[in-house]
Amino acid sequence: MADPVVFVPLRQLAEDIRARRLSPLALAEVFLDRLERLGPRYNAVVTVTRARALEQARRAEAEIAAGRYRGPLHGVPYGAKDLLATAGGIPTTWGAAPFKDRVFDVDATVVRRLEDAGAVLCAKLAMVELAGGMGYRQPHASFTGPGVNPWNREAWSGGSSSGSGSAVAAGLVPFAIGSETWGSILSPAGNCGIAGLRPTYGRVSRHGAMALCWTLDKLGPLALTADDCGLVLEAIAGRDPADPTTVDRPFRYEGGGTGRRFRFGVLRGITEGCEDEVRGNFARSLEVLRGFGSVEEITLPDLPYDDITRTILYAEAASAFEDLIESGGIAGLTAPEDRYTAYARDAILAKDYIKALRLRGVMAREADRVLAPLDALVAPGRLTVAAMLGGELRSAIRGTARDVMGAVGNGAGLPAVAVPNGFGARGLPTSLQFMGRAWEENIILAAARAYQAATDWHRRHPADA
């Protein structure tokens, strides 16, 4: 039986902390203990940041006692994907053996903003090496071992924010920060039965985060609920002079009920290739959505969406890791296929990359045109439940699966939130995603909250956590 402070949504934790019914120091101790004791079970943790956590928790306790309450994350533990730089001698490994001892002397902007909000950094969380940018095909692609799913320890937790997904699902931290270039927040959230929010490109500073693809990388929260994700997003969003892609659009999270009806769209044929359970759970989810909104089928123009985003991703990743690739340093990576696949990226012609960038503009306009009359496009979060640890991964990034929502959403920089919507094969969770127009995180979060208010999938937790 988990401690009663585990699997508690942020709003409740915050209220108990603010009212001093819950000590930030005691809370940190609970989660530090779980990270140290249970983290290895899921290969979820790279570094437990005990000293920094206790120092931050003591500070939070003192400030709250003195009446200086900072807000809903004050005194709340969290974990950061290990591609976010952390000062103070804490390694930042990018999940990759060649960087396992590397230390930065600054905090990433997101880490600093969470510190400003009073949150308590308890762990650097495991990830697929180099955020999966070198072409991995199976879960054994991190020097900390494959991410293990808390719902079924023979299954993968997802990637590339593997530890961010499993740590939240197993109650090792109340929330985590992940990154998504294509699928790396929504995939582990869906695989692990939690909520994950991919913000609009430019909403959250990537300063201090590992660069995989400059025009695709986003940072966002994974947490128990869509509401939790909104609370975290408010703390980390905003312009940052150190990241020129961030924009001056302040984000104020509008939590609570909206009392309005929503208008949802579903792309024609979106469940083609889905596992039966995924398709069935999605159909049942649509029935739930019809309880507070309309659902209509829509189409996108015929464009090579997956090819557009894949070409951009491959080309930029090859450039970002040019030194590692050309020096042969990729030979030190864990997944055998990561040790050579990136050599193929030299075959991408500049003209084709530019064409992808030109088509990206068309894609972004078409996506916005389709989304403009809607509140959100909805779709299964993933075509399948989590892969087994010994299995080959189907991936739209490699072209072995289709993911129009992911290709358009990431290629056009659109926000999406995934929430659990049932279970499929082998007792593994399935998920539902809501994707909105650029900068409309509040709308998709409101829709996801409405769905979660009508269902209880987010209140179910792994039996052995």
Partner 1 sequence: MSEADPVQAEVETLLALVRERYGARLDPEQEAGVRTAIDGIVRAARALRAVRLGTAEEPAQPFAAYRADP
Q: What is the footprint of partner 1 within residues 82-141 (CB under 8 A)?
A: 135
Check residue 247 for interaction with partner 1 (CB under 8 A): no
Instruction: With beta carbons less than 8 A apart as the criterion, state whether 410 and 310 touch.
Output: no
Residue of 298, 357, 401, 425 interacting with partner 1 (CB under 8 A): 357
Check residue 242 for interaction with partner 1 (CB under 8 A): no
As a whole number of Å, the end-to-end CA separation of the chain is 8
Instruction: With beta carbons less than 8 A apart as the criterion, state whether 264 and 293 touch.
Output: yes
- Axis-axis angle for helices 50-65, 24-42 (nearest 10): 150
Residue matched to tokens 């961030």: 246
Nearest to 191 by CA among 386, 383, 381, 384: 386
CA 64 to CA 15: how far, in whole Å? 12
Stretch of 99-107, 176-184, 249-257, 359-367 contacting partner 1, by CB under 8 A: 359-367
CB of 356 to partner 1, least distance (A): 6
Check residue 437 for interaction with partner 1 (CB under 8 A): no
Which of 175/314 has CB closer to partner 1?
314
CA 398 to CA 135: how far, in whole Å? 7
Show the binding pattern over residues 132-151: x = contacts partner 1 (CB under 8 A), - = does not.
Answer: ---x----------------
- Beta-bridged to residue 221, according to DSSP, are 177
Number of residues that bind partner 1 (CB under 8 A): 38
Q: Is 81 a catalytic residue?
A: yes
**Residue tagged active-site, from 157, 162, 184, 205:** 184
Check residue 347 for interaction with partner 1 (CB under 8 A): yes
CB of 106 to partner 1, least distance (A): 22
Which of 123/367 has CB closer to partner 1?
367
Q: Tokens representing 297?
A: 């089928």
Instruction: With beta carbons less than 8 A apart as the criterion, state whether 251 and 238 touch.
Output: yes
* Cross-sheet strand order for the sheet of 429-435: 45-48, 120-125, 77-81, 175-180, 218-223, 195-198, 416-423, 429-435, 376-380, 262-267, 293-298
Check residue 354 for interaction with partner 1 (CB under 8 A): yes
For CA atoms 282, 288, 292, 297, the dihedral sign is: positive
CA 34 to CA 77: how far, in whole Å? 12
CA 142 to CA 129: how far, in whole Å? 5
CA 53 to CA 304: how far, in whole Å? 46
Stretch of 26-34, 120-128, 360-368, 440-448 contacting partner 1, by CB under 8 A: 360-368
Check residue 74 for interaction with partner 1 (CB under 8 A): no
- Beta-bridged to residue 295, according to DSSP, are 264
Show the binding pattern over residues 323-342: x = contacts partner 1 (CB under 8 A), - = does not.
Answer: -----x--x-----x-xxx-
Which of 294/327 has CB closer to partner 1?
327
Residue of 356, 386, 417, 419 interacting with partner 1 (CB under 8 A): 356
**Residue tagged active-site, from 160, 187, 395, 431:** 160
Q: Is 184 a catalytic residue?
A: yes
Check residue 345 for interaction with partner 1 (CB under 8 A): yes
Which residues contact partner 1 by CB under 8 A?
135, 215, 244-245, 303-304, 306-308, 310-311, 314, 328, 331, 337, 339-341, 343-349, 352, 354-362, 364, 398-399
* Catalytic residue positions, numbered: 81, 160, 184
